[in-house]
Amino acid sequence: MTQYRTERQTKIQIYIAILSMLGLMACIAILFPQVRHVIISLVEQHIVHKKITLYQSWFSSLLSFAMGGICFILFLDYCTLTASGKILVRSIKQEITECLAAIDFRSLLKPTLIISVVYLLGIFTIIRADFLYQDDIGRSIEGFRGWFNWSRYISEFASIVIHADTNLTDISPLPQLLATIILSISSVLLVYIMGNGKITVIRLLASIPLGLSPYFLECLSFKFDSPYIALSILLSIIPFLFATRQKTFFFCSAVSLLMMCMTYQAASGIYLLIVIILCFQDWNGRKKPDKEILSFLCTAALAFCIAMICFKFFFMRPNEYIYDNDAVSSSMHSISQMLSGILFNIKYYTITIYQDLGLIWKICILLVCIFFVAKSVSTSSRNPILSFFISVLIISLIFILSFGIYLLLKHPLFYPRALFGFGAFLAIICVYVVSDFKKIATVPVIALAWCFLVFAFSYGNALADQARYTEFRINILLHDLSALYPDCDGMSIQLNNTIDFTPSIKNISGHNPVIERLVPKRFGAAVFFDNKYYLDHFNYGNSAMANIPAYSSIDFSNLNMPVILDTYYHTIQSDGNKILITLKH
């Protein structure tokens, strides 16, 4: 029996060695520019059936994939073909088994159900609104995926599984329901990790900002993207289930963080927040020796850096584009401008959040921060003055790091969906404050959670209200256009101005300004998805769309074309080939 097993292992090793050699040969071949040109040509001819517009981006990506493939194959060979590698794999496997065996997963079921109900309530009006949110418009009409272009490879392939097809269709609310389940698991694990396995209803409610912060509500609005964005949060939390085993924690952290970057990179700060808060808890209460805390911190930092470096050099596809007239870039600041660039991003991040939040929210957050410092000092085993300054430093640091690796970018995205790390920041400090502290501290925490839950209802209803008004305006416009131009083929259409927000949204924005950044102006000049929405979605002809002046060689408003129709809602100008529509508020 032993001899048979040895022979079988030998055969497996031979197969692995052969496959590795073939893989290395393929990767090395891709390193040559001529081979990459051939691969791109084959993709153009047999897969996409058109010229690849971002040719240089694909060319660079293939080079990165080849280098990454070489590193992966060599690492795999080390783990499977060398004695030390096999020992390392067995050791990590055993540690993972021990860590999982120590967790009572049945005890996590009830908390998951409780927080799931809360999250489902929170997104109820969003689901009921049935709003095609930005990218949803194009995906529902054309069925494309497109996450590959943003280096979100897990999202790309997971979407095929969830939609049971390579061609995407609108299967809502299934993706949003999956997102709430993933968020619920994330909240429970966050409380479990921060509370050393102790989960209470109050702590669960304190974690609500993780999934129902105004910023993550935009993520939940996407009918196609939402489960993969939620998965990025879960992947940032999972490694801490193995925090008691250094080798396993390092390995799981590196792998999970790399996977997180392949789902949604805006979650990149969450891992760092949890690391810092766990180290602070242990340091402040003298729960562990300083040397052990420092070792854990260094291990986590090393795993984070390795994951980010691997993603940057082997998997990330460079992207620079204009989104609603704002420049967005995945390129980092140069070394000489890194410090000034980071400080500018911190400043802009802080100002953006301050301007988004309502007064009551700010008061609740301020009180939570005060209780954070108060708890840190009153429960500290350290010098009270030192504990005070360190706690203030910690809360400032984790706020800054909640923006993640976006801090390093030249032109990071500041749209709400890119800022949900702030919700994770709030959830972490809220869970910390309500854990084994005075009951008075739970008041601002529960008040903040209640504010976010109520706002989620308002937001979903606002989406529905804006959609009704937008479609009303579109119906009137398309009726007029179809009457004026029954045959619109070959005509170019451009919009001027936008449809304003409905009175209900203006009412909400008076107290919670973030609503105007969450509800998209889907119909108007410089709105990216208009072409898809009011032409394709409403099946209006095959007009050549010159909707956004920034993307068109001609701004129709400078042509002084004759007025064809002037109504209460819009003015239509045309020279017979071009149409300028000026929307009225």
Query: Global pTM?
Result: 0.89
pLDDT confidence of residue 544: 46
| Percentage above 90 pLDDT, the chain | 52
pLDDT digits (tens, 9 = 90+) for 83-107: 888 888 888 888 888 888 888 888 8
Q: Which tokens sit at 209?
A: 């900002």
Q: Which tokens sit at 554?
A: 């001609």
pLDDT confidence of residue 373: 95
Report the range of poorest mean pLDDT among 54-63, 82-91, 170-179, 419-428: 54-63
Mean per-residue pLDDT of the chain:
86
pLDDT digits (tens, 9 = 90+) for 205-245: 999 999 999 999 999 999 999 999 999 999 999 999 999 88
Q: Which tokens sit at 520?
A: 């998209």
Contact 20, 73 (CB under 8 A): yes
pLDDT at 255 over 50: yes
pLDDT at 50 over 90: no
Please tell me which residue, 500 or 116, carries the higher pLDDT value: 116
Cβ neighbours for 259, distance < 8 A, ≥ 6 positions apart = 154, 235
pLDDT at 22 over 90: no
146-175: average pLDDT:
89
Distance of CA 218 to the CA centre of its chain: 10
pLDDT digits (tens, 9 = 90+) for 488-536: 666 777 888 888 899 999 999 999 999 999 998 877 655 556 556 666 6
pLDDT at 146 over 90: no
Beta partners for residue 363, in sequence order? none
pLDDT confidence of residue 549: 46
Cβ neighbours for 337, distance < 8 A, ≥ 6 positions apart = none
Cβ neighbours for 94, distance < 8 A, ≥ 6 positions apart = none
* Strand 563-566 to 544-545 pairing: unpaired
95-123: average pLDDT:
91
What is the band of 548 on the pLDDT scale with cuts at 50, 70, 90?
Answer: very low
3-state secondary structure of 485: coil
Residue 90 backbone phi and psi in degrees, to 5 = -60, -40
Peptide bond into 173 cis (omega under 30): yes
E strand segments, 268-341: 320-323, 326-329
Calpha distance 374→368 (Å, rounded): 10
pLDDT digits (tens, 9 = 90+) for 284-335: 988 899 999 999 999 999 999 999 998 888 888 777 665 555 656 677 888 8
DSSP symbols for 376-398: HHHT-SS-HHHHHHHHHHHHHHH
Residue 573 backbone phi and psi in degrees, to 5 = -115, 145
Give the N- to C-terminal CA distance of the chain in Å, as an integer.
83
Calpha distance 168→68 (Å, rounded): 29
